[in-house]
Structures are given as C-alpha cells and as structure tokens.
C-alpha cells in the first residue's frame, strides 16, 4: 500500500487547534506515560509522527485520536513542549471535518464567521417562523400550546430528528469506509458486526475508557471527577433530548403539576445536569487550571455556551409559566427554541457533540478490525498447514 506525503498537512492541522508538533523529536515519552495507549494503538507518538510526515491517509484510517480522552499526562511529560494532548484534539476536529461530506464541519471549525453566523442564521429562522406562524396569543392566562401548538412543534422535532440522523449516520458511514474498508485485503465476516455490537452500546452508555484516563487507579466513581462530570452532562443531554423530541406532548403542556410529578423532576434533573456540565466546562476554560482546558478552540466555547443558555432560558420559561405570566412565557419560549435549535442542528452532526458518537464507533470499528485480522491470520495458518499436508 502506498501513501502520499503532504508537506502542507501540519499547516492544515494548525487550523484545528494549538498544534506544535514540529518540536516533537519522537522520544516516545508520551506514549509510555499514556494510560490508554497500547502496542496495537501506540498513540500519541505514532500519529504525531504521521502528521509530521504529512501522511494524511494514514491518519484518516486511524482510530487512535478517538481513543485519547485528553487527560493531559502526555503533555506534562513531553520534554519538548510539543503539546501532544492538544495535537490529538486537533486531529479529532480534523477527522470530524473529513468524515463530514457536506463540508460544513470544516467551515465551522476553521471559520468563526461561519460558526457564529450559522448559529445566528438558525436562531433568526426560528424567531421569524414564530413571528409569522405563531398561534393565537392568549393574555389572560398562560396558554403555551395555543401560542405554539404542540403537534406542529412536534412535527418540526421529527423533521429535525430525521435530518440530524441522516447527516450523522452518513458521516459515520464515511468514517467506517475510511477506518474499516480502506484495507481491501482484510475480509470481515458479517457476524463480527453483530458480535462486537455490544462494544458500541457499552461504550456509549458508560464512556468507560474515560474512567481509565481519570486520576488514580482504584478511586471511586465520585473521586473520578472528569469521568463523573462527563457522564452527568451526557445523561442530562440525553434526557433533555428524549423529553423534547420523543415525549414532547407530555413535556410541553399547559397543565400545572405538583413538585413530585416525574414530568417536573426529570426536567429538573436534565436542567441541573446541563447547567453543571456546561458551567464546569466554561469555568475550566476561563481558569485554564488543567491540561484539558489550557487551549480553547472557538468550538470549545460554542457548545457549552449554547448548553448553558438553553438551560437558563428553560428555567426562565418554566418560572414564567408557573408564575402565570403569559407574554414573558411566550417570548422566552421562542428565545429558548432559537438557542436549542442551533445547539442540536449544528453541534450534533457537525460540531463538538459529534465526538460522543465517533468515539464509541471508533472503538467498535477497531474491535471488528482486530478480530477480523486474528481470524484471517488463523485461517491463513490453517490453509498453510493444509497445503503442507
């Protein structure tokens, strides 16, 4: 197999993060200290070397950047301040842009004008839609479902869900082609896709590799703060997404429920989790008090800010509704959707959220490839013995 060398690749990668890999002299300290690196996946040294040499196809076929969880241990041990952890992050952004066939992810990652402009464009679209098509405005009591008929909002939800799924899944399919199908000599039995599927579900739900990259071995769940915080934000995001997309008719209601009702406490849990996760990320990036937050690409700000504003406007909306204030409820509802919509439409298939899907798929694809290689090697050995007989 031959690969093209692209001498401009490092310059291209620099658009995706604080890349300083020219200073790396390949000592391998980073790989030796990394808690997640293995002999099969010796990152970050290997893919830093590939990037230095401009071997873009090798990187495109690699899962390694997705196996890094940015603990920062490698950067702390690097004798050349080559910032290997941030290089992995830049590679993940670059890979996200390569998987995305629309080209939008590349534009959002490399241009603030595109990133911010797209958010404002979608927000304006939502506001104009409500200005033109809102239902009757009842002012003597709160009638949210008259102002914004739930069956129409639900229809919009489903259209958005189909669109998001299409873009995300088609990008994951391209990721599959790059990672799994690039090696034409590797035969993959179909049953491996089924038998390894548990990896996908297990890693999506538990993010368990994060725990191995977090603080000390033997610590409890509550002591593994980064893994714990990540799980909390993922659970809040997943719950909020399910409530506003799948159970909207139950969640967007004009009824007033007592405090113990599940409709309220599920919403409260999701809101608190989003506030906590987004607040933690923003404060960390302002304070820069750990390796993970030392460098911030514009996309690192956009997602938590949109999450924070979504949670904040959700709280305001809920408060105005329970206080019985019709106009503030309707206005806040429109603002809430104007923030929520770009947060979902832009971040899920094209932005920072996408790593939540790409990481478990990378682990799944890697497991399939490794198992297929073992099967193929044992088959080759058996064929050789049979021929010798």
Query: Which residues of the shown chain bind ligand SF4 in the complex (CB under 6 A)?
Result: 24-30, 34, 36-37, 43-45, 48, 68-74, 78-80, 82, 84-85, 88, 213
79 in Cβ contact with 29 (< 8 Å) = yes
Placement of tokens 């002012």 in the chain:
139
264 in Cβ contact with 257 (< 8 Å) = yes
Length of the chain: 389
Nearer to ligand SF4, 93 or 336 (CB): 93
Nearer to ligand SF4, 45 or 359 (CB): 45
The whole-angstrom separation of Cα 183 and Cα 295 is 35
Whole-number minimum distance, CB 339 to ligand SF4, in Å?
A: 31
Nearer to ligand SF4, 46 or 56 (CB): 46
Token couple for 116? 């911010």
Nearer to ligand SF4, 37 or 252 (CB): 37
The whole-angstrom separation of Cα 268 and Cα 263 is 9
Whole-number Cα distances in Å, 180 to 81, 96, 199: 33, 16, 16
The whole-angstrom separation of Cα 105 and Cα 171 is 11
Whole-number Cα distances in Å, 194 to 129, 163, 200: 44, 26, 10
Report residue 229: phi and psi, to 5°.
-65, -40
Whole-number minimum distance, CB 186 to ligand SF4, in Å?
A: 26
The whole-angstrom separation of Cα 167 and Cα 162 is 9
Nearer to ligand SF4, 83 or 100 (CB): 83
Whole-number minimum distance, CB 31 to ligand SF4, in Å?
A: 7
Token couple for 49? 């070397």
Nearer to ligand SF4, 342 or 360 (CB): 360
CA-based torsion, 329, 116, 107, 302: positive or negative: negative
Nearer to ligand SF4, 37 or 62 (CB): 37
Query: How many angstroms from the chain centroid is the CA of residue 283?
Result: 19
Whole-number minimum distance, CB 363 to ligand SF4, in Å?
A: 14
Whole-number minimum distance, CB 7 to ligand SF4, in Å?
A: 19
């Amino acid at each position: 197999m031959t690969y093209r060398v692209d001498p401009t690749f490092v310059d291209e990668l620099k658009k995706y993060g604080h890349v300083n890999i020219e200073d790396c002299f390949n000592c391998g300290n980073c790989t030796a200290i990394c808690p997640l690196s293995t002999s099969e996946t010796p990152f970050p040294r290997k893919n830093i070397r590939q990037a230095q040499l401009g071997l873009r196809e090798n990187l495109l076929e690699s899962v390694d950047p997705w196996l890094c969880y940015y603990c920062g241990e490698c950067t702390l041990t690097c004798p050349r301040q080559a910032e290997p952890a941030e290089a992995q992050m830049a590679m993940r952004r670059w890979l996200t842009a390569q998987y995305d066939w629309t080209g939008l992810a590349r534009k959002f990652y490399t241009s603030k004008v595109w990133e911010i402009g797209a958010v404002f464009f979608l927000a304006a679209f939502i506001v104009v839609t409500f200005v033109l098509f809102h239902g009757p405005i009842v002012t003597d009591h709160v009638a949210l479902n008259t102002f914004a008929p739930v069956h129409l909002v639900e229809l919009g939800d489903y259209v958005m869900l189909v669109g998001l799924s299409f873009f995300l899944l088609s990008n994951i399919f391209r990721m599959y082609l790059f990672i799994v199908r690039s090696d034409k000599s590797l035969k993959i039995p179909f049953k491996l896709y089924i038998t390894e599927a548990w990896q996908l579900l297990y890693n999506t739900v538990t993010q368990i590799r994060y725990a191995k990259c977090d603080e000390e071995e033997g610590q409890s769940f509550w002591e593994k703060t980064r893994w714990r915080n990540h799980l909390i934000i993922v659970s809040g995001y997943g719950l909020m997404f399910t409530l506003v997309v799948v159970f909207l008719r139950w969640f967007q209601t004009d009824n007033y429920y007592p405090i113990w009702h599940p409709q309220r406490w599920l919403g409260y849990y999701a809101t608190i989790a989003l506030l906590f996760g987004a607040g933690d990320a923003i404060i960390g990036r302002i304070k820069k008090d750990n390796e993970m937050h030392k460098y911030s690409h514009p996309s690192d700000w956009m997602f938590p800010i949109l999450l924070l504003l979504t949670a904040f406007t959700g709280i305001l909306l809920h408060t105005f509704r329970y206080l019985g204030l019709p106009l503030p409820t309707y206005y806040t509802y429109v603002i809430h959707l104007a923030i929520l919509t770009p947060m979902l439409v832009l971040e899920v298939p094209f932005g920072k959220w996408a790593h939540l899907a790409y990481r478990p798929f990378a682990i799944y694809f890697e497991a399939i490839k490794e198992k297929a290689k073992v099967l193929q090697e044992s088959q080759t050995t058996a064929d050789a013995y049979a021929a010798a007989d």
